[in-house]
């Protein structure tokens, strides 16, 4: 059973289940692209249209890794605004340019969809160069679409998280429940506001009301965050941190292009008229201080409030 992530044929064992694109039950990135700064592939692969998956080949793996390590210095975290990774893959497949290197499912299973040598288009960032320097993970979570009165993405008739025996549970439609690798898995947020369940904070100007990721997702994400720097040393084991508030900020940061480490999509993209859209992921519920502490970084201020 594979537990390794892969860049240019090099592997690092992260100690959690990783389903590779080449495995049965794996997902192939629907729209890989070549990175402009890497030279071990045919440059026609940098642009549209998407070619057959087998056409995305690089020549010298050692040289490809050296070039990739020079180019990539950010791991960008996203919520996928989907019910599950299977659902996320269907949504990305329907696009002619989108993709993500990793999907992180509700039960903590990590999918890698292509070698990290390739670019995937998930976060242009405010300078439109974000995907060139990044590796992406789409974490299964409905994001701010999880409440009935705010949902626009999917036809639903009730709030998608329901209180059952004192515990908030995500109601997964049958077609997605049956697709989780862990059969019978019950998706429960790792933390919940005592009364209302969801978290509510402002991100890049929008009040984002969302439920937390699952405990299993945090454990796998932390393993990924610790492991990826061994493959790509430019991705430092750190997240943005404001020494004044002693917290990780939620809004776009000033040095979003030069930062070496692990960032949220919202940290690199506040959007502008005629430019990229404003982004809010991984959102108000994501537990930045837990990731920061797991990486050995500033413990920061104690989490006063659960929301
Ligand atoms: Zn995103």
Report the candidate in 80, 87, 115 with the shortest Cα–Cα distance to residue 4.
115
CB 107 within 8 A of CB 216: yes
Give the separation between CA 119 and CA 74, rounded to whole angstroms. 12
Question: Is there a domain that residue 11 lies in?
Answer: yes
Report how far residue 5's alpha carbon sits from residue 24's, in angstroms, rounded to the nearest whole number: 16
Q: 305 pLDDT band (50/70/90 cuts)? A: very low
- Say how many Å lie between the CA of residue 257 and the centre of ligand 1: 16
Q: What is the mean pLDDT of residues 210-237?
A: 97
Q: What is the pLDDT of residue 174?
A: 85
Could you tell me which of 53, 65, 98 has the C-alpha nearest to residue 80? 98
What ranges in 58-101 are assigned the alpha helix state H?
61-71, 85-93
Question: What is the pTM assigned to this prediction?
Answer: 0.95
Q: Is residue 260 part of a domain?
A: yes
Position 301 pLDDT exceeds 70: no
Where in the chain does DSSP place strands (E)? Answer: 4-7, 10-13, 18-20, 74-79, 102-104, 110-112, 134-139, 161-164, 167-170, 199-203, 206-210, 261-264
In a domain, 131, yes or no: yes
As for how many domains the chain has, the answer is 1
CA of 78 to the centre of ligand 1 (A): 4
Cα–Cα distance, 39 to 49 (Å, whole number): 19
CA of 220 to the centre of ligand 1 (A): 18
In the reported structure, the alpha carbon of residue 88 is separated from the centroid of ligand 1 by a whole-number distance in angstroms of 12
Percent of the chain with pLDDT over 70: 97
237 by DSSP, 3-state: which? coil
Least confident of 155-164, 260-269, 277-286: 155-164
Q: How far is the CA of 79 from the CAs of 44, 97, 112, 146, 281, in angstroms? A: 30, 18, 16, 12, 6
Residue 156 inside a domain? The answer is no
| For residues 135-160, average pLDDT | 87
Domain membership of residue 265 (yes or no) is: yes
- Please state the length of the chain: 307
Q: Output the CA 231–ligand 1 centroid distance in Å.
A: 23
Taking the centre of ligand 1 as the mean of its atom positions, its distance from the CA of residue 281, in whole angstroms, is 5
Ligand 1 centroid from CA 164, angstroms:
30
* Bond from prior residue into 282 cis (ω within 30 degrees of 0): yes
In angstroms, what is the span from residue 301 Cα to ligand 1's centroid?
26
| Cα-to-centroid distance, 243 and ligand 1 (Å) | 26
Residue 17 sits in which domain range? 4-28+71-143+212-294
For residue 22, is it within any domain? yes
Report if residue 45 sits inside a domain. Answer: no
Please give the backbone phi and psi of residue 86, each rounded to the nearest 5 degrees, phi first.
Answer: -60, -45
| CATH code of 230's domain | 3.40.80.10
Whether residue 106 is contained in a domain is answered as: yes
pLDDT in tens, 207-220: 999 999 999 999 99
Q: Which residues contact 11 (CB under 8 A, 6 or more apart)?
A: 4, 5
Q: Mean of the pLDDT values across residues 212-232?
A: 98
pLDDT of residue 304: 52
Distance of CA 24 from the midpoint of ligand 1 (Å): 27
**pLDDT tens digit string along 84-101?**
999 999 999 999 999 999
C-alpha 62 – ligand 1 centre gap (Å) = 31
The residues whose Cβ lies within 5 A of ligand 1, an ion, are 78, 265, 281
How many whole angstroms from 191 Cα to the centroid of ligand 1?
22
Residue-wise pLDDT tens digits, 162-196: 999 989 999 988 888 888 888 889 999 999 987 89
Ligand 1: distance of its center to the CA of 80 in Å? 7
């Amino acid at each position: 059973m594979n537990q390794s992530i892969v860049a240019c044929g090099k592997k690092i064992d992260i100690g959690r289940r990783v389903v590779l694109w080449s495995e049965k039950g794996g997902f192939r990135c629907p729209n890989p692209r070549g990175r402009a700064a890497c030279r071990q592939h045919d440059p026609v692969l940098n642009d549209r249209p998407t070619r057959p998956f087998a056409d995305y080949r690089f020549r010298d793996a050692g040289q490809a890794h050296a070039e990739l390590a020079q180019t990539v210095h950010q791991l960008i975290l996203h919520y996928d605004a989907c019910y599950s990774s299977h659902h996320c893959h269907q949504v990305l497949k329907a696009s002619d340019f989108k993709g993500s290197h990793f999907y992180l499912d509700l039960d903590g299973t990590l999918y890698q969809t292509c070698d990290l040598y390739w670019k995937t288009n998930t976060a242009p960032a405010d300078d439109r160069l974000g995907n060139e320097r990044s590796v992406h993970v789409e974490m299964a979570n409905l994001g701010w679409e999880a409440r009935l009165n705010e949902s626009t993405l999917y036809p639903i008739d009730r709030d998608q998280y329901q209180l059952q025996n004192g515990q908030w549970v995500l109601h997964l439609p049958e077609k997605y429940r049956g697709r989780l690798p862990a059969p019978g898995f019950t998706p429960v947020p790792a933390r919940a506001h005592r009364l209302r369940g969801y978290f509510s904070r402002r991100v890049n100007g929008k009040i984002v009301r969302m439920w937390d990721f699952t405990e299993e997702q945090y454990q796998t994400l932390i393993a990924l965050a610790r492991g990826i720097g061994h493959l790509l040393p430019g991705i430092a084991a750190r997240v943005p941190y404001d020494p004044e508030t002693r917290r990780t900020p939620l809004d776009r940061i000033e040095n979003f292009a030069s930062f070496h480490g692990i960032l949220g999509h919202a940290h690199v993209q506040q959007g502008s008229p005629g430019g990229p859209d404003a982004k809010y992921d991984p959102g108000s519920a994501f537990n930045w201080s837990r990731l920061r502490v797991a990486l050995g970084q500033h413990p920061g201020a104690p989490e006063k409030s659960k929301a």
